[in-house]
């Protein structure tokens, strides 16, 4: 069934009136041969951005989530800030955040801070994604049953110790699949830094297209992104499955 549908789609594509031109512009073997290595090297920036940003996102996201879930009265102002932060940041398209940070902050000509657009693009990604990830963390923290906190309190543990040893470990186990989903999304969104004219994989491919009137490197970049994200997606599936199995075992 799947094969038939795919076959029909392929036949439709190849027999379309513009196919010859599309083949030349998007699937040119010469252009692919010429560009694959340079695109791969440019992609290295996307990979580095992803790894560094992800660490920042996890730390900031968890801090925001903890701030939002604590009940102590003296943290009330922090809670307000955390709520406003997530609401505002999630409302702004990531591409705008990257543009504002990447062009806006260096334009301020501040002393003592970097004017590197890559750095500011990374900061923008951290700001944007930490707002989403904090909500995932928050859902996890709130899913830990209050009786767990009660028994930890009854043992005389401090609130900080309860978070660290009882609540956060249980929360994180439950949110691994949705977190990885956000990782996959972030991996692709590192492509957005190309709007700053930073030489990442996508910018390189766009440039090539503009100069040579051939879009094949874009297809190459797309393939690289797929190759990067598929392992993460499979890992997500695997962990999700294991979680379901464990919960079933627990319910027996």
Partner 1 sequence: MSALLSVRDLRKSYGDRVVLEGIDLDVEPGEVVCLIGASGSGKSTLLRCLNLLEQTDDGTITFEGSEITDPRTDERAVRRRMGMVFQAYNLFPHLTVLQNCVLAPRFAHRRSRREAEARARDLLGRFGLGDFADVHPDRLSGGQQQRAAVVRALCTSPSLLLLDEVTAALDPELVGEVLGILRELAAEGTTMVLATHEMSFARDVATRVVFLDAGRVCEEGPPSQVLGAPLQERTRAFLARVL
What sign has the CA pseudo-torsion 152, 154, 155, 160? positive
Identify which of residues 18 and 250 has a Cβ nearer to partner 1 in the complex.
250
Shortest Cβ distance from residue 70 to partner 1 (Å)?
Answer: 16
Binding site for partner 1 (CB under 8 A): 147-148, 150-158, 161, 165-166, 169-170, 173, 249-250
Q: Which token pair is 202?
A: 């996508």
Identify which of residues 16 and 158 has a Cβ nearer to partner 1 in the complex.
158
List Cα–Cα distances, 90 to 60, 105, 125, 135, 142, in angstroms: 15, 20, 12, 10, 20
Give CA–CA dist 162/151, Å, rounded: 10
Identify which of residues 76 and 155 has a Cβ nearer to partner 1 in the complex.
155
List Cα–Cα distances, 79 to 70, 101, 113, in angstroms: 8, 25, 29
Shortest Cβ distance from residue 141 to partner 1 (Å)?
Answer: 14
Give CA–CA dist 209/215, Å, rounded: 5
Measured distance between the N- and C-terminal CA atoms of the chain, rounded to whole angstroms: 38
What sign has the CA pseudo-torsion 116, 118, 120, 123? negative
Give CA–CA dist 113/199, Å, rounded: 21
Shortest Cβ distance from residue 80 to partner 1 (Å)?
Answer: 25
Q: Long-range contacts of range 158-167, CB-CB < 8 Å, 24 or more positions apart? A: 159/70, 159/72, 163/66, 167/141
User: Residue 157: what are its φ and ψ, rounded to 5°?
Assistant: -75, 150
Residues 6+ apart with CB under 8 A from 110: none
Identify which of residues 155 and 230 has a Cβ nearer to partner 1 in the complex.
155
Shortest Cβ distance from residue 73 to partner 1 (Å)?
Answer: 14
Shortest Cβ distance from residue 159 to partner 1 (Å)?
Answer: 9
Identify which of residues 161 and 242 has a Cβ nearer to partner 1 in the complex.
161
């Amino acid at each position: 069934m799947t094969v038939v549908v795919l076959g029909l789609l392929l036949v439709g594509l190849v027999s379309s009136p513009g196919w010859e031109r599309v083949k030349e512009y998007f699937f040119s073997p010469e252009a692919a041969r010429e560009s694959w290595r340079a695109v791969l090297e440019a992609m290295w920036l996307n990979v580095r951005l992803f790894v560094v940003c992800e660490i920042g996102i996890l730390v900031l996201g968890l801090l925001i989530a903890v701030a939002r879930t604590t009940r102590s009265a003296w943290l009330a102002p922090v809670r307000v800030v955390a709520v406003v932060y997530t609401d505002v940041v999630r409302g702004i398209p990531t591409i705008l955040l990257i543009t504002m940070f990447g062009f806006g902050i260096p334009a301020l000509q501040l002393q003592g801070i970097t004017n590197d657009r890559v750095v500011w693009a990374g900061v923008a990604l951290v700001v944007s994604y930490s707002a989403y990830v904090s909500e995932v963390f928050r859902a996890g923290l709130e899913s830990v049953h209050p009786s767990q906190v009660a028994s930890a309190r009854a043992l005389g543990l401090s609130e900080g110790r309860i978070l660290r040893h009882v609540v956060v470990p249980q929360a994180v186990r439950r949110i691994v699949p949705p977190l990885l989903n956000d990782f996959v999304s972030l991996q692709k969104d590192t492509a957005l830094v190309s709007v700053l004219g930073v030489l990442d994989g996508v910018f390189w491919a766009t440039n090539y297209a503009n100069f040579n009137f051939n879009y094949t490197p874009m297809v190459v970049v797309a393939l690289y992104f797929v190759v990067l994200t598929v392992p993460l997606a499979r890992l997500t599936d695997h962990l999700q499955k294991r979680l379901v199995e464990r919960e079933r075992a627990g319910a027996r």
